[in-house]
Homo-oligomer: A and B are copies of this chain.
Amino acid sequence: MARLILKFGGTSVANVVRLEQVARIVKKEIDAGHQVAVVVSAMAGITNELVSFAHALCPSDVTLEHDVVLASGEQVTSGLLALALQRLGLKSRSYLSWQIPILTDASPSQAKILNIATHELETCFKENCIPVVAGFQGVTENRRVTTLGRGGSDATAVALAVALKADCCDIYTDVNGVYTADPRLVFYAQKLETITYAEMFELASQGAKVLQARSVELAMKHKVKLRVLSSFSESEGTTVVEERNKVEGTLISGIAHTQNEAKVTLIDIPDQNGMAAIVGSLFEHQICADMIVQNSLQDGKSNLTFVLQKSDLDRSVPLLEDVKKKIGFTDIIVNKEIAKISVVGIGMRSNLEIVTILFKTLAERGINVQIISTSEIRLSVVIDLKHMSEALETLHTAFNLDEKKV
């Protein structure tokens, strides 16, 4: 008997028919003799709808009331799945974060899990009852409702796996596993049997939507066995592992992309202190500037370019205008028409060949690299949005990732 955490995402629980299918998947694991706790997301589309309501009423700051609104989606699904399991003759009940409790800090819409009490859930297991835990939500010490940020149900699942010492954490999605690139954009994308935590973390951080980056980090830290599976098919999925054999010729494991970012350039900043003021001002407001590039100009001034989430843009521009008044640079140029493409692989560690292939491939297609940044196992470039698909496909081929489709 193994103890499993099964997590089902929004498309897996999108409607009553899908919920019945999820109930059958859970039953199969129970029938195989396993002990199962389930974590569910909100039905597909619901969270976006709730966000739009809250945003319409309060376009600027995010308060804990946003979290109260957003957390309701997972509540619905947890109750419905418990009903679907009861219908199959299984004992089941829903658990909301405050009932467990899943204790978090009080950061609105991006709370961090501090502790998960296991007593309630262990009691549920002892009674042969299947707990269906509402993902994404938490509760503060002061009994306020919080949410864990986008993809937060993955974090709930992994944190539960840690707390309950589960043997495996299975993340059910609408894709068969982790792919070398988004199969909707890259025809020859292929499914990976395994991927390392580190690679998965980089891909998730850089736009691969299959897993939330923070949950991968948590799984890596606690060595939680993580699998990505489809609730729509019975294929094998992808297992996230600690180490894997470097297959001949594959320096790169996958390519991620995102078009959620905008490029901001500040012109003619007078001195070095200005830089700190700018990035500091954004950081104070929890806005993260990424891929920061400074061009020193001849007259002692410099230009600063960085990338922000598009969703942070409305908040950022007034902040930058304030800094502009204080330290006096000449212009703020915003470009939303960009894409970031990231190639990721443990095989690229200290391998300069990657950079060469990447630049050569893009140059041959006349695609200009606007910014570049690297980590130990990742290389990201910002390009013009209109070249995104082409860049993905040609890089996928250039790094020998194409599946040999018959």
Binding site for B on A (CB under 8 A): 16, 19-20, 50, 53-54, 56-58, 63-69, 71-73, 75-76, 78-80, 82-84, 86-87, 93-94, 96, 98-99, 143-145
27 of the cross-chain contacts (CB-CB < 8 Å) are A16-B53, A16-B56, A20-B57, A54-B79, A54-B80, A57-B83, A58-B84, A63-B86, A64-B93, A65-B79, A65-B93, A65-B94, A66-B79, A66-B83, A68-B78, A68-B79, A69-B75, A69-B76, A69-B83, A72-B73, A72-B75, A72-B76, A72-B79, A75-B75, A96-B145, A98-B98, A99-B144
- Flag if B68 contacts A75 (CB, 8 Å): yes
Having A72-B79, A99-B144, one finds 18 other A-B pairs with CB under 8 Å, namely: A50-B76, A54-B79, A54-B80, A57-B80, A57-B84, A57-B87, A58-B84, A65-B79, A65-B86, A65-B94, A66-B79, A66-B83, A68-B96, A69-B75, A69-B83, A72-B72, A72-B76, A96-B145
Q: Give the complex CA separation of A145 and B87 in angstroms.
A: 20
Residue of B nearest to A42 (CB): B72
Interface centre among A58, A65, A84, A96 (most CB of B within 10 A): A65
Residue of B nearest to A23 (CB): B57
Instruction: Identify the 4 closest CB pairs spanning chains A and B, nearest first.
Output: A68-B79, A69-B79, A72-B72, A58-B83
Please, which residues of chain B bring their CB within 8 A of the CB of A96?
68, 145
- Flag if B68 contacts A94 (CB, 8 Å): yes
Q: Give the complex CA separation of A75 and B71 in angstroms.
A: 9
Q: Give the complex CA separation of A80 and B72 in angstroms.
A: 12
Q: Give the complex CA separation of A251 and B148 in angstroms.
A: 61
Please, which residues of chain B bring their CB within 8 A of the CB of A99?
143-144
Please, which residues of chain B bring their CB within 8 A of the CB of A54?
79-80, 83
- Flag if B50 contacts A65 (CB, 8 Å): no
Q: What distance in Å separates the Cβ of A68 from its nearest Cβ neighbour in chain B?
A: 3
Q: Give the complex CA separation of A53 and B16 in angstroms.
A: 6
Please, which residues of chain B bring their CB within 8 A of the CB of A145?
96
Q: Give the complex CA separation of A19 and B65 in angstroms.
A: 14
Q: What distance in Å separates the Cβ of A297 from its nearest Cβ neighbour in chain B?
A: 43
Q: What distance in Å separates the Cβ of A53 from its nearest Cβ neighbour in chain B?
A: 6
Q: Give the complex CA separation of A73 and B69 in angstroms.
A: 9
Please, which residues of chain B bring their CB within 8 A of the CB of A84?
57-58
Please, which residues of chain B bring their CB within 8 A of the CB of A79?
54, 65-69, 72
Q: What distance in Å separates the Cβ of A76 from its nearest Cβ neighbour in chain B?
A: 5
Beyond A72-B76, A75-B75, A145-B96, whether A65 also contacts B83 by CB under 8 A is yes
Q: Give the complex CA separation of A50 and B42 in angstroms.
A: 13
Please, which residues of chain B bring their CB within 8 A of the CB of A93?
64-65
Q: Give the complex CA separation of A76 and B53 in angstroms.
A: 9
